[in-house]
Every structure is written in structure tokens, then in C-alpha cells.
């Protein structure tokens, strides 16, 4: 009798420990500390196409016409997207590096991360925030944020569309934010 009770206690304790381990693995996903992914997207905007049409060939007449004066016109130089703000990432809870650029062209706005690298983690997102970059990451919970979506990869060059109705006034940083643990992996200053 005593042996069977002891066996039940061990089975119960073992089951409880196994359940805790499974839940901890699901919540913390420790293997993500050792995994990386890479996405290299082209710049979100295409450079405008400059149309150059050949000059209309002149006509010749039997009588010599005075030579036309040579006129030179330069084709407009293609302009790329306007840089609204840019900054370099600083590490916070995890090593994070690269550059962030907020671009606009034709009314569309995009946050571009270039040469970006950070740690992998569960539920990691990209935010624009009214809080300053760096320092204590608890401040990002308090201010206004514009959520741009889940991070596409831990490394590379990524584009994140900024919603057309997003108010960019007062935003001061881009934040790589882990929703599950409420921590900033890193941030970059963007003075708007």
C-alpha cells in the first residue's frame, strides 16, 4: 500500500514538472536565442521613370535654311523618396544594430530598416513611439505608438508600411518590441 502511494506521488509530481517544462518552453521559446532569419527586400519605392523622347528629325528644303541655334535641355533628374527621419539602432534588452529610415514618396510612407540585426524572440514587433530611443524600456508602454507589424526577420533590409492615417507628429523613435515579455530589444531615434 505504502509503495503504491509513493508511486502515485512520484507520478503526480513528474506530471506536474513535465507540464511546467512544456509551458515554460512554449512561453520562453529558448531555442530562439540561437536562431536567425534574413530578409533582404528592395527599397519600397521605385525611382520615377524619366521619359526621354528623341528629337523630331528636321526637314530639308531646296533652299538652305539658316542653321537653327543649338538648344540644350536637361532631363529632370529622377528623385527618390524623401527621408523624413533617420537614426541608428542602440541595443536595449538584446543586441540590436543597423539603421532606420522613415521615407515618403507620393503620399506613401515606409519605415525601412537597413543593415538590421537583432535577436530572435517570440512575438517581436516594430513600433514607432513618442518615447526617446535608448535607456529604460519601460517607457514605451506609457506613450503613444504606431504599430507597424511583426518583425519580418532578425537580419537584413526590411520595409514596413506606415498606415496612411497614422499621425507622425511627436514620434521620436522606432522600437523593436517583444509583446510577450514587454521589453524593447532595441530602438533608434527618429525626430519627426
Residue range 35-44+78-189 in CATH 3.40.50: no
**Distance from C-alpha of 183 to C-alpha of 26, rounded to nearest angstrom:** 18
Which of these ranges, 13-17, 52-56, 70-74, 162-166, has the smallest mean pLDDT?
A: 52-56
Question: With contact defined as beta carbons under 8 Å apart, do 111 and 126 qualify?
Answer: yes
Q: What is the pLDDT of residue 137?
A: 81
**pLDDT, tens only, 74-114:** 555 557 899 999 999 999 999 999 999 999 999 999 999 99
Confidence (pLDDT) at 165: 96
SS3 for 137?
A: helix
The answer to whether residues 89 and 173 touch, using CB atoms and an 8 Å cutoff, is: no
Whether residue 118 is predicted with pLDDT greater than 60 in this model: the reply is yes
Q: Which of 60-69, 102-111, 123-132, 144-153 has the lowest mean pLDDT?
A: 60-69
Residue extents of the structural domains in the chain: 35-44+78-189
Amino acid at each position: 500500500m505504502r509503495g503504491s502511494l509513493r508511486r502515485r506521488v512520484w507520478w503526480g509530481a513528474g506530471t506536474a514538472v513535465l507540464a511546467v517544462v512544456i509551458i515554460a518552453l512554449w512561453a520562453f521559446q529558448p531555442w530562439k536565442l540561437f536562431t536567425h532569419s534574413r530578409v533582404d527586400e528592395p527599397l519600397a519605392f521605385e525611382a520615377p521613370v524619366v521619359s526621354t523622347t528623341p528629337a523630331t528629325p528636321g526637314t530639308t528644303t531646296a533652299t538652305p535654311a539658316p542653321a537653327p541655334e543649338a538648344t540644350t535641355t536637361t532631363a529632370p533628374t529622377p528623385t527618390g523618396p524623401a527621408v523624413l527621419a533617420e537614426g541608428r539602432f542602440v541595443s536595449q534588452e538584446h543586441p540590436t544594430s543597423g539603421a532606420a529610415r522613415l521615407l515618403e514618396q507620393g503620399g506613401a510612407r515606409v519605415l525601412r530598416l537597413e543593415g538590421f540585426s537583432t535577436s530572435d524572440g517570440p512575438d517581436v514587433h516594430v513600433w514607432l513611439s513618442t518615447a526617446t530611443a535608448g535607456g529604460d524600456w519601460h517607457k514605451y508602454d506609457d506613450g503613444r505608438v504606431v504599430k507597424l507589424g511583426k518583425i519580418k526577420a532578425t537580419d537584413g533590409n526590411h520595409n514596413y508600411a506606415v498606415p496612411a492615417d497614422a499621425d507622425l507628429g511627436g514620434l521620436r523613435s522606432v522600437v523593436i518590441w517583444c509583446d510577450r515579455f514587454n521589453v524593447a530589444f532595441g530602438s533608434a531615434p527618429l525626430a519627426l
